[in-house]
Structure 1
Amino acid sequence: LTPISGALKYLYDKVFLRRSREVENDYDFILDDKGRLTDAIFSHHRDVEIFGEDADPDIHCFFYNIFDNPAISKKAAIRKLSKFPKEETIVRGKGHFLFISGMVYPGFSDHLHVIPNFNDWYTGDTQQFYTLYAAIDPHPRVPHAVLFLAVSVDGTKYLVDDLYTDCNAQDLVTAIKVKCRGRIPELILIDPMAYTPDPSTKSCLATDLIDFGLDDPFPIPASKDKARGILRCQQLLAPAETSGKPGVYVTENCTNFRREITRYSWDDWRKHDRNTKGPKLEAVKKDDHFMENFYRLILADPQYIDPVTEDDVRAEYRAQQSVGRSPVTGY
């Protein structure tokens, strides 16, 4: 769904203006091609499929924003927008829905970022044009989360698969190798906590994974600089000014990643604190396993590595990734 300038100028016979379903006495308004209200239908018609697989192909959907209003000039619209909070300015000025205002990645959308699954990164002669990376967020109480990223020869990044499974270390290694589809990752990142030794046995999860075969390459502690990582991911998700294309794409089979990113929101203070404190500058620490993997992969600055020169640069590249980091904290 993309804002279309002047969309109501004699392009459509009628326009359905849908209100939020949470509003009491919900209505569907019908406007004519000049924006005049011609009818109002009660909310029992609100479940009519307007877009989706079962939608009428003759029904076109788009965002209509303040600049498409013929009654006010662009200068007046800008003046009006300056009086609203940032989130509402986005809604009125760009046609975005208000419910994304508290999201960490409001710019993510299926329309822009999600692409069909493809096998070029692991089959035939084309696999040499992609370099694979992986990030692991293990957890003792909830399923382990693993995210796989491929970088093409032109530098474009693709999240090509994810893994969300509740299993022991040995089975996790097997599942990761299955997802790699015969490819050897250039780098495997893991939550630094996986390198925290058990006080009694002196062993840790990372070494268990290595012992069970995750040793080519072995996982290294990832960065925990979440604030910087979120900024980098936001920048990567934003479409480029020249091409209009984002810096990262997500394949359809990354269902767990897509579920988390569309629900990943900023945390707020409790109600009794809101009058004395500003916005809480932290993301909600819940259902964020793939979000952790996402920013850790991006902070590692994944690049395409030519297979011909891979042996020459691998040692130097991995050394650069771990410069200045503690093997325990990841900082």
Structure 2
Amino acid sequence: MIKWLKSYLLMEKEVGSNSYRREVTGNFVILFSFAILFLLTLSNFFLSSRTIFYANLALFSGLCLITFLFRHNKRLVIHSIAHFMAGGIFVIVYFNQAQDYTPIWSFLYMYLIISLYGHQKGLMIAGGFLGCLLLFLSFWVGETVTKLEFIRFAFVSVFILFFAYLAELLISRTFEQLNKTKSILEKMTITDELTGLHNRRHFNDVLSDKINSARRSKEMLALAIIDVDHFKKYNDTYGHPAGDQVLITLAELLKTTMKRSDDVLFRLGGEEFALLYKPKDETSAIALLERIREAVEDVVKEENIQSIVTISAGLYIIKPQKTQSFEQVYKSADELLYQAKELGRNRVVVSP
């Protein structure tokens, strides 16, 4: 029973957002409504008048009907039950003439409504409900309810409404800050700190997905691995800050050139970069990489780089009709880069 309850209320699921919390609250509303109305109906059958028993039975039947009619839209079921609960409170208060502490059920309703709708919209709905309830209760002031009891109830109700609003506001802001921080941390784990490009870890995660996606959509995919020529010698000659400036400049050039939404750029480590993009054909795939290679020398001159910088690249074209793994694709592109270096650098070597 406990295991089922935890599963139904999603207690084993990771807390991640306000929507999750509202889903849990909604499940609780359904479960609680059925449980409490069933128990009230049963107890009133034995302990109370027939009139109150029939009122509870009608409410329980109405609850079952709402759940059945809107069973394919859980959100609508939850909100309908919540508002049905408001009507039920008025009915019970009416039949009990505001006695036997029946108005205090409004406390639960106000808290649930603010949890379901959020602090702003929830406050408006709960505030409207409380205003109507206080007006309704005023009819029994001086008869079954004393003035002092009415004032006490109104005072406590307003405070409960305020604190429910405040709690929801603080929880919502906490979740927003938590998700914002989580998003920043997730971005940091896949981003290269120096260049702002994706890092090797993200490359390992993305490449297989991109290969499979391109194969399903029958699109050509190109993987280019780029390496800065003689970068170690450049670092040794001009220092690491100058070397970092070369890498940053190259990264900015790649960002400027690769603007399409499905272009993905990576710094694999050191002076090695990777480009993943979908060309129209092999000619356009090669032309793009050649433009980048030719642009490198001009760009580094503009950025006051202290020496001529060139790049070598291995370009591997992934055909949609051919099934290949991450390891095969990466190894092939890396071998093409190695060939470019063996052939004298400052060139692009393309897969046959």
Structure number with bigger Rg? 2
**Larger helix proportion, structure 1 or 2?**
2
Bigger relative contact order (CA 8 A; separation at least 6): 1
Normalised TM-score (structure 2): 0.24
**Larger strand proportion, structure 1 or 2?**
1
Normalised TM-score (structure 1): 0.25
